[in-house]
Amino acid sequence: MESQNQILTVWGEFACFTRPELKVERFSYPVITPSSARGIFDAIYCKPNRDPTKAEFRWQVTKIEILKPPKYIALRRNEVKDKISVKKSWIEEKEIPEPIWADGTKDMLGSDMKGRTQRQTMALKNVKYCLHAVIRPFNGFVSNTKGLEAQFRRRASKGKCIYQPYFGCREFPAYFELVEPETPLEDPLPINIDYGLMLYDVFDLSNPGTCNDNASISVFRAKAENGVINVPDYESDDVFKGLGRFN
């Protein structure tokens, strides 16, 4: 059963699609990555399951249209160095939760160093894209495709989402609107640029997977032709897969 193309217009004030080879100082790709585009569709409608055999589908991004020119903005932010680890004893109220100390004395932090650091982010501002994607059902759920598509369209047309979609970082919210079949599409910008190798995804999309799976980096050659980036299928030879982690 052939999947129907689903189209979203997405826009936002800021975005940061971090290059995986740059770890300390975040530097955004000039355009949205397929991974971030997939995340927006997932935020509106997805059906994950802890049992991989019961996961019904994944999203396959097929095309990205650039509707606003990429413009960079430098942001400097305070970030905490540590990540809070939730303990079972906190949930059971047997122990008082310990906060992350951004500033304080040596007794609080265990050292004379501050618990926060300043980092620079080269982000994008005033972004807008038209995203195309199709549902790829997993084995055993192909017959559910039409129903899954209908449910997505009902949710997207009403602005419903599981969580707020975002552009790369959660503090950069993405706003969306479903493009109906009869609605004329906005023309992409006349941009012709070879962006080189771009991150495709950080998970192995060939199977449902679990939350404990290791990262599986994939990249592809991203080229904008008249403002349109055609995204190959994950199974395509044009996607270089299984690269592990960037060190």
The answer on 66 and 164 residing in a single domain is: yes
Asked which of 35-44, 101-110, 203-212 is least confident by mean pLDDT, the reply is 101-110
The answer on 89 and 57 residing in a single domain is: no
For 88, the domain range is 76-119
The answer on 63 and 92 residing in a single domain is: no
User: Of the candidates 89, 119, 149, which is a domain's last residue?
Assistant: 119
The answer on 236 and 199 residing in a single domain is: yes
Q: In the numeric block, which tokens belong to residue 237?
A: 């030879």
Residue that wins the pLDDT comparison between 108 and 149? 149
Asked, for residue 245, whether it belongs to a domain, the answer is: no
> Max CA-CA distance within the chain?
64
Residue that wins the pLDDT comparison between 158 and 52? 158
Strand-strand pairing, 6-15 and 228-230: unpaired
Residue that wins the pLDDT comparison between 213 and 28? 28
The answer on 172 and 153 residing in a single domain is: yes
Predicted confidence at residue 206, as pLDDT, reads 85
The answer on 191 and 101 residing in a single domain is: no
41-44 LR contacts (CB < 8 Å, sep 24+): 41/6, 41/8, 41/131, 41/133, 41/152, 42/162, 43/161, 43/162, 43/163, 43/164, 43/165, 43/166, 44/8, 44/152, 44/155, 44/156, 44/160, 44/161, 44/162, 44/165, 44/176
pTM above 0.75, yes or no: yes
Tell me the per-residue pLDDT of 80-99, one tens digit each, with 9 for 90 and over.
777 767 777 777 778 787 77
Tell me the per-residue pLDDT of 167-194, one tens digit each, with 9 for 90 and over.
999 999 999 999 988 888 899 999 999 9
The answer on 191 and 99 residing in a single domain is: no
The answer on 233 and 141 residing in a single domain is: yes
Predicted confidence at residue 118, as pLDDT, reads 80
Provide the percentage of residues in the chain whose pLDDT is more than 70. 89
CB 59 within 8 A of CB 34: no
The answer on 14 and 129 residing in a single domain is: yes
The answer on 186 and 138 residing in a single domain is: yes
**138: domain CATH number?**
3.30.70.2660
The answer on 82 and 68 residing in a single domain is: no
The answer on 30 and 143 residing in a single domain is: yes
153-158 LR contacts (CB < 8 Å, sep 24+): 153/6, 153/178, 155/44, 155/45, 156/6, 156/8, 156/44, 156/45
Nearest to 133, CA basis, from 54, 225, 233: 233
User: How many structural domains does the chain have?
Assistant: 2
User: Of the candidates 91, 119, 147, which is a domain's last residue?
Assistant: 119
Nearest to 159, CA basis, from 44, 72, 73, 55: 44
- Mean pLDDT, residues 106-124: 72
